[in-house]
A and B are shown apart, each in its own frame.
Chain A
């Protein structure tokens, strides 16, 4: 597969994210698919930050393996990343800052010293302008015309007059310098791909999917890697008519969302594992009061504060077990940026159809990395129908039972303001009318019966949800010698590994469990029983999805590929493990 990977690295504060995003857009504006992966730490200055922008005329799903251009802003970048340069690649650095010895790069890699600082001084005194030169250099190496880079810079710096003109001049100088000294790499993509692509992060897709699904209210407390959902929505709040409320803590955030939903609008809260830990009690209240609620849980490495800027899928067991007692919940684990959009929208529909909380489980990798997409990947959604299932007015309303026991477990829902339908929503156990059972009445035989009935009414929803939702899909060849099993963002590197394995003559497919709960146990068992061999692949220590599948189907996973070092899977790791499991290589 034709592809090109541009990598930049430096210290926090060096503007790495901006440079990285610009590299991605060099691809997407020219009609190539792209994937942008960022590695950073929880510091605002200092620390090591890097970004890999990978482009291809074909769909790509991950950061891939290795890079072709490395633009190193500091010595550490050379130490960490030079070994990943592929033959034919180029290391760009400024000899004024540090020197690089030829032994520091793999065979077949060129050193390309560029006096970026010296060149940028012609246009401005701020050292940050060196990136203008650097971006020009990399564009030339990537074989993309200067006009594309200038278009990107004009759009991002548009209003900042002199800054823009300085950057245009600096990048032009860099572009010509590289053209004169090296020219485009052999691996460079053609000048033009297909139609221009969108460039979007998982969190942006979640936010957009939520608005498309009719969300009117978001309450959130900042926490990496969920914060950018709030940032994007806050910036668009007026345009999309959404109330974005930064709460005083996560306890407030989820309770506010429940209040807004109770009052009749689609509402969401978003957080990471630490914040979700604080939300747990109210999460159960959404189940008990049968209030539709969408919670985005973007996981990062735990436990506790863990690795705040590193990825993991370690919260599945917590999400499945969160809150005391039993109530129906849905957990979705989207496996791409486009899926994040669609699954978030689906979460709102499920929450409302079944009047219960739905979790969209993302993680830092999916939430923050960016992917190039086609417009068709994000289909427009029909405007949501009315949220209320009780016709208005229902004068008198004495017969109205908010928690009526129905065959599906879902009861007609009224909202405050509707005439004659007044009821109490209670976190205590209650009867069909919403009257309190606990405290005074529990234990009395008639109310023992009410409790049993109300539990069964709520829990009944689970089988309905399972029946109404699609079972997981098997991706790749039907006849495979190995079936990978995973959920959520693991799908990204797996989708890049499958063609590599095919290239090695190994047929492997992937069971993508995009809905870990309620689990489609029977459908999964059917796939697993007919699989020649399985490999459980998860970004956690104990194989949490695997444990759920085992509990639901009795099927165990003798072979596992589990990663919990904070870094996402790289396709080569998956390939290596598969070769080992299928007996191609022996360790």
Chain B
């Protein structure tokens, strides 16, 4: 599927919409997160989402600074708690486009529980995890996706001795309805996956290899560039959950990117009775005038 497909809002703004803010990104030169920022901008442009209808929600980490570099609505919350904030925003006003952005520590470490529950709820939001296999902001400790044996500031002697989490396999197990992987070295593929993820009705996880050039000298751009291949190039069928799971286990010399899995399932918002009459933000508030709320207490 190409990024140029019909936009989310066909009657959207004309071409000259600015998504980026005046704030210059503060990442290290060469950081993989620049690629994510570029890809997100491409996706927003392609989908023509009005910036005021976009909410970028993040936690804490280098990657989580991303909302500040966009001129959309943004919520830069606590380490690991971006997803519940986004959940509250989406449930209050499902007409907003909600994109969560953060790091592997944020989403797969301290906030893993929230990530899994959001997936099973199938809220209509997109979660971009800038997975650099390290804690960048805190200057280089092991993360939940750090490679076995990786020597980091917190594992200086024998390296990491716990097996890394497999975020895509977890996402499949948790019931995510859109599971994809991108690489910062290929922003166009990433933009396409992000656009698809945003258009997807349900929870979309886009895990991105986004190298930390300062603290992770193992999982570098070159490391990924020599290993990644595109799932569509091998004819992967994203509607097949078993095959998708098999592909998430591939690691080593060849690592797949692209869309692993996609399914249709009602979203949480669709099933929530209180949202039947539209977003909470547009409903009347207070006790309804036509019922006596005290009657049941007699």
Q: Is A445 an interface residue (CB 8 A)?
A: no
Q: Which residues of B, 83-121, contact A by the 8 Å Cβ criterion?
A: 83-93, 95-96, 113-114, 117
**Interface residue B68 (Cβ < 8 Å from any Cβ of A):** yes
Asked if A219 is at the interface (CB within 8 A of a chain B CB), the reply is yes
Chain B residues near A380: list those with CB within 8 A. 287
A465 on interface, CB distance cutoff 8 Å:
no
Q: Tell me if A239 is interfacial: C-beta within 8 Å of chain B.
A: yes
Interface segment among B48-56, B160-168, B178-186, B255-263: the answer is B48-56
User: How many residues in A have their beta carbons less than 8 Å from beta carbons of B?
Assistant: 75
B75 within 8 A of A: yes
Residues of A within 8 A of B285 (CB): 214-216, 265-266, 383-384
Pairwise interchain contact B51-A422, C-beta atoms closer than 8 A? yes
Per-position 1/0 for A198-216, Cβ under 8 A of B: 1110001000100111111
A416 touches B (CB below 8 Å): yes
CB pair B298–A29 under 8 Å, yes or no, is yes
Report B135 CB to chain A, min CB distance, Å: 15
Least Cβ–Cβ distance between B22 and chain A, in angstroms: 9
Q: Measured between alpha carbons, how far is A243 from B89 in the docked complex, in Å?
A: 12
Q: Does B284 contact A (CB under 8 A)?
A: yes
Q: Are A419 and B52 in contact (CB under 8 A)?
A: yes
Pick the residue among A243, A249, A423 that contacts B280 (CB under 8 A). A243
B203 to chain A, nearest CB (A): 14
A265 and B87: CB pair below 8 A?
A: no
Residue in contact with A252 in the complex, picked from B84, B275, B284, CB distance below 8 Å: B84
* Contacts between the two chains (Cβ within 8 Å), count: 207
Q: Which residues of B contact A93 (CB under 8 A)?
A: none
A244: chain B residues at CB < 8 Å are 274
Query: Which of A103-111, A432-440, A476-484 lies on the face that meets chain B?
Result: A432-440
Question: When chains A and B are docked, how far (Å) is the Cα of A248 from the Cα of B85?
Answer: 13
Closest to B288 in A: A240
Taking a contact as CB atoms under 8 Å apart, the answer to whether B75 and A425 are in contact is yes
Distance from B114 Cβ to chain A, minimum over Cβ atoms (Å): 6
Q: Return the chain B residue nearest A252 by Cβ.
A: B84
A439 to B26, CA, bound (A): 9
Interface assignment of B73: CB less than 8 Å from any CB of chain A: yes
**For the complex, is A223 an interface residue (Cβ under 8 Å from B)?**
no
* Pair A423/B84 contact, Cβ less than 8 Å: no
Chain A residues, Cβ within 8 Å of B80 = 251
Q: Is B88 in contact with A212, judged by CB distance below 8 angstroms?
A: no
Chain B residues within an 8 Å CB radius of A214: 285-286
A206–B283 CA distance with the chains assembled, in angstroms: 21
Which one of A198, A204, A244, A260 has the greatest number of beta carbons of chain B within 10 Å? A260
Tell me the bound Cα distance from A289 to B51 in angstroms: 21
Cα distance A267–B89 in the bound complex, in angstroms: 11
Task: Give Cα A520 to B72, complex, Å.
Answer: 41
Query: A263 near B89 (CB under 8 angstroms)?
Result: yes
In the complex, what's the smallest C-beta–C-beta distance from B48 to chain A, in angstroms? 15
- A500 an interface residue at 8 Å Cβ cutoff? no
Q: Does A416 lie within 8 Å of B73, measured CB to CB?
A: yes
Are A417 and B53 closer than 8 Å at their CB atoms? yes
User: In the complex, are the beta carbons of B281 and A265 less than 8 A apart?
Assistant: yes
Q: Is the CB of A259 within 8 A of B297?
A: no
Residue in contact with A255 in the complex, picked from B23, B77, B91, CB distance below 8 Å: B77
A264:B281 contact, CB within 8 angstroms: yes
5 nearest A-B residue pairs (beta carbon): A259-B88, A214-B285, A255-B84, A424-B74, A263-B92
Residues of B bordering A, CB below 8 Å: 23, 26, 50-53, 55, 57, 60, 65, 67-68, 71-78, 80-81, 83-93, 95-96, 113-114, 117, 272-275, 277, 280-281, 283-288, 291, 293-294, 297-298
Apart from A252-B113, A260-B89, list 15 A-B contacts with CB within 8 A: A211-B286, A211-B293, A212-B293, A213-B286, A251-B84, A256-B87, A261-B88, A262-B88, A264-B281, A267-B88, A289-B75, A416-B96, A424-B73, A426-B75, A436-B68
9 contacts between A and B (CB under 8 A): A204-B297, A211-B286, A213-B286, A248-B117, A259-B91, A265-B92, A267-B88, A424-B75, A436-B65
**Chain A residues engaging chain B, CB cutoff 8 angstroms:** 28-29, 196-200, 204, 208, 211-217, 219, 237-245, 247-249, 251-253, 255-267, 281-282, 285, 289, 375, 378, 380-384, 415-428, 434-436, 439-440
